[in-house]
Amino acid sequence: MSFNADVSRIFERMSAMLELTGADRFRVNAHAKAARVIKDHPRDLGPIAHDQKSLTALEGIGKATGAKIAEFAETGAIAEHDALAEKVPEGVVRMLDVQGLGPKTVKLLWHEKGVDSIAALKGVIEDGSILDLPRMGAKTVENIKESIAFMESSGSRLPLGIAMPIAEALVDRMSSVPGVVDCAFAGSLRRGRDTIGDIDVLIVTEDPERAREAFCGHQSVVKVLARGETKCSVRLGLDGPGGRFGSQADQAVQADLRIVPAASWGAALMYFTGSKEHNVRLRERALSEGLTLNEYGLFPDDRGAEPPPQQRGVKPEAAKTEASIYQALGMPMIEPTLREDRGEMSIADDPGLITADDIRAELHSHTVASDGEMEIHESAGIAEKRGFHTLAITDHSQSSAVANGLKPDRLRAHIGRIREIDRETPGIRILAGSEVDILVDGSLDYDDDLLAALDVVVASPHAGLKAKPAQATKRLLKAIEHPLVHIIGHPTGRLIERRPGLEPAMDELIAAAVEHDVALEINAHWMRLDLRDTHVRAAVEAGCKIAIDCDVHGPDDYDNLRFGILTGQRGWLTPELCVNTWDRDRLHGWLRSKR
């Protein structure tokens, strides 16, 4: 675990414990915000923990927070945290993770019933004494019980690439239910996060009962959690694409359906897309403009008036589309991928984010020569159909024995074969490349003569992924500085929800990549998405070249492009910095400049 992850976790816990001990909202939020900023920061803060000036220069880190970070670096603890932990048992903090249990209820359970752990919570559910609490009914208890069971059976989040097809099928299905006028998914999935907690679907319908029945009664539903007037929650089984997700194949995913009024479609979509942090910012902006924003629309401000404006027939300033609401707030449309409270409130114009249509080349692909499923010409056929002008064949290098990596003589023959097929394939340029292992000491897996014979060199770490951050930094820097390397493939080697991968000083890598004219890859496979969004953001700010590649092994892998694009967008990436968007001459010119 890195310094940032450790400190971030402590701040998260402080925020929760402050909330449970009744501290004011400002302090609770300040700690939560600091936790997020620290977690997202691309650079290990350990080495600058004593430099208060650099720390407090970061947005969301004030004097008090900066001092606590220094304290942690020095002593390995934060006194305020330890004092709070004296007052709030660990198990009480853990109870906050149970869906449907807010801080208010947790506080009541703890103070009124002495419940200080999930086990104790199960106890008061079993003996029924939980029902003594105010506003606690059988239905709520049932939900809490379900959430605990779900937490214990899964706990982890679902990768984007597993959740997306399930959500799309769900939206297709709901769209075809008679009476349904509008249907879309929202939440973290629409924002393109790399993992998903649950799937949020919104509909407008003229026949709500029919929609509820279609949603709750479908064969993929393993359990109906709630079936209310405007909100239904179900648990969906994960067969189909989920079956490929190894150990998680028997998992389920929760899906929420919300039936919303046609007139407030945009406001509802905005609200349920989140993020929660972005929504908070939007409501602040509305208030500062003398307006009130909720999931029904943007209304003239009459805060405190009861019932809320939508129930009094107040006409909203905007509600029907998201764009109209942003416009009424004096903002350009903010794409869902940017809605994370990472500075998007200050965007003045369309930021011109990259889209899948901008991509013209795939520069990381495997064939049957190593561990791919396709022949060179098959892969080239797919790339050409996608409108690409270039495909680089980059099979594995000799050290990747399990992936049938090529020994130097096999690679030489392979280069000849690639050039031959390229001549027979006029519609697309096929380049001879390699995905060369970056060995543990940072050297590359072929000698320079052989590397120089290749059109494209993607250098990637595959083994030794548990190395310490400092060693990882050194190793990757050495590869970036190598004059024959074009792209660093999946730089950290993480596998989502399975393996954390390396934790190098990303800003040092980025600075070196800029200096040596190397592109850092966003590996578009949903199991990797490496670089991740926050790394991409740091790279973009530094003007570092980015490659978005599918790491093609089989024909379907080209479809992962969209996940890489979403990650790029979340890093505020524009086409200009992405080498895969360049026209043929520019791309090939850059590749040749390293030969």
The torsion region of residue 536 among left (phi > 0), alpha (psi -120 to 50) and beta comes to alpha
Q: 422 near 448, Cβ under 8 Å?
A: no
> Contact with ligand DGT (CB under 6 A): which of 40, 198, 422, 445?
198
Closest CB to ligand DGT among residues 39, 516 = 39
Q: What is the DSSP string of 448-481?
A: HHHHHT-SEEEEE--S-TT--HHHHHHHHHHHHH
Taking the C-alpha atoms of residue 137 and residue 485, their distance in angstroms, rounded to an integer, is 63
Stretch that binds Zn ion, among 75-83, 216-224, 295-303, 459-467 (CB under 5 A): 459-467
Taking the C-alpha atoms of residue 412 and residue 218, their distance in angstroms, rounded to an integer, is 55
**Does position 188 bind ligand DGT by CB under 6 A?**
yes
Nearest alpha-carbon partner for 559 in 158, 164, 159, 157: 164
> Contact with ligand DGT (CB under 6 A): which of 66, 187, 192, 372?
187
**Does position 279 bind ligand DGT by CB under 6 A?**
yes
Taking the C-alpha atoms of residue 383 and residue 142, their distance in angstroms, rounded to an integer, is 51
Number of residues that bind Ca ion (CB under 5 A): 5
The torsion region of residue 77 among left (phi > 0), alpha (psi -120 to 50) and beta comes to beta
Q: 160 near 191, Cβ under 8 Å?
A: no
Closest CB to Zn ion among residues 292, 394 = 394
Phi/psi of residue 422, each to 5°? -60, -40
Site string for Zn ion, 404-443 (x = CB under 5 A): ----------------------------------------
**Does position 322 bind Ca ion by CB under 5 A?**
no
CB-count burial class (<10 Å; 0-12, 13-18, 19+) for 527: buried
Q: What is the DSSP string of 224-276?
A: EEEE-SSEEEEEEE--GGGGGSGGGGG-EEEEEEEE--GGGHHHHHHHHH--H
Closest contact distance (angstroms) between CB of 187 and Ca ion is 3
**Does position 460 bind Zn ion by CB under 5 A?**
yes
Closest contact distance (angstroms) between CB of 284 and ligand DGT is 11
**Does position 196 bind ligand DGT by CB under 6 A?**
yes
Closest CB to Zn ion among residues 460, 581 = 460
Closest CB to Zn ion among residues 266, 501 = 501
Q: 3 near 46, Cβ under 8 Å?
A: yes
Closest contact distance (angstroms) between CB of 295 and ligand DGT is 8
Closest CB to ligand DGT among residues 279, 324 = 279
Residue 538 CB partners (closer than 8 Å, separation 6+): 42, 43, 506, 507, 510
Closest contact distance (angstroms) between CB of 590 and Zn ion is 21
Closest CB to Zn ion among residues 317, 551 = 551
Which H, E and C letters describe 365-433, residue by residue? ECCCCCCCCCCHHHHHHHHHHCCCCEEEEEEEECCCCCCCCECHHHHHHHHHHHHHHHHHCCCCEEEEE
Stretch that binds Ca ion, among 195-203, 336-344, 351-359, 478-486 (CB under 5 A): 195-203
Roughly how many angstroms between the first and final C-alpha of the chain, as a whole number?
Answer: 39
Other beta carbons less than 10 A from residue 180's beta carbon: 20
Stretch that binds ligand DGT, among 196-204, 219-227, 306-314, 400-408 (CB under 6 A): 196-204
Of all residues in this chain, which one has the CB nearest to Ca ion in the complex?
Answer: 187
Of all residues in this chain, which one has the CB nearest to ligand DGT in the complex?
Answer: 274
Stretch that binds Ca ion, among 140-148, 192-200, 353-361, 507-515 (CB under 5 A): 192-200
Site string for Ca ion, 240-259 (x = CB under 5 A): ----------------x---
Closest CB to Ca ion among residues 42, 187 = 187
Q: Is 542 helix (H, G, I), strand (E, B) or coil?
A: coil
> Contact with Ca ion (CB under 5 A): which of 12, 200, 503, 530?
200
Q: What is the DSSP string of 301-313?
A: --TT-SS-GGGGT
Q: 514 near 542, Cβ under 8 Å?
A: yes
**Does position 405 bind Ca ion by CB under 5 A?**
no
Number of residues that bind ligand DGT (CB under 6 A): 13
Please give the structure tokens belonging to residue 224.
Answer: 């109906």
Stretch that binds Zn ion, among 40-48, 188-196, 305-313, 457-465 (CB under 5 A): 457-465
The site partner of 460 among Zn ion, Ca ion, ligand DGT, none (C-beta below 5 to 8 Å per kind) is Zn ion
Closest contact distance (angstroms) between CB of 198 and ligand DGT is 5
Please give the structure tokens belonging to residue 313.
Answer: 């027939």
Q: Is 521 helix (H, G, I), strand (E, B) or coil?
A: strand
**Does position 274 bind ligand DGT by CB under 6 A?**
yes
Taking the C-alpha atoms of residue 118 and residue 96, their distance in angstroms, rounded to an integer, is 10
The site partner of 276 among Zn ion, Ca ion, ligand DGT, none (C-beta below 5 to 8 Å per kind) is ligand DGT
**Does position 197 bind ligand DGT by CB under 6 A?**
yes
> Contact with ligand DGT (CB under 6 A): which of 275, 355, 404, 471?
275
> Contact with ligand DGT (CB under 6 A): which of 87, 111, 244, 276?
276
Q: 78 near 86, Cβ under 8 Å?
A: no
Site string for ligand DGT, 144-183 (x = CB under 6 A): ----------------------------------------
Q: At what angle do helices 408-424 and 376-385 cross, to 10 degrees?
A: 50
Closest CB to ligand DGT among residues 270, 484 = 270
**Integer-rounded Cα radius of gyration of the chain:** 26
**Does position 198 bind Ca ion by CB under 5 A?**
yes
Closest contact distance (angstroms) between CB of 368 and Zn ion is 16
Which residues make up the interface to Ca ion (CB under 5 A)?
A: 187-188, 198, 200, 256
Q: Which residues bind Zn ion (CB under 5 A)?
A: 460
Which residues contact ligand DGT by CB under 6 A? Answer: 187-188, 196-198, 200, 271-272, 274-276, 279-280
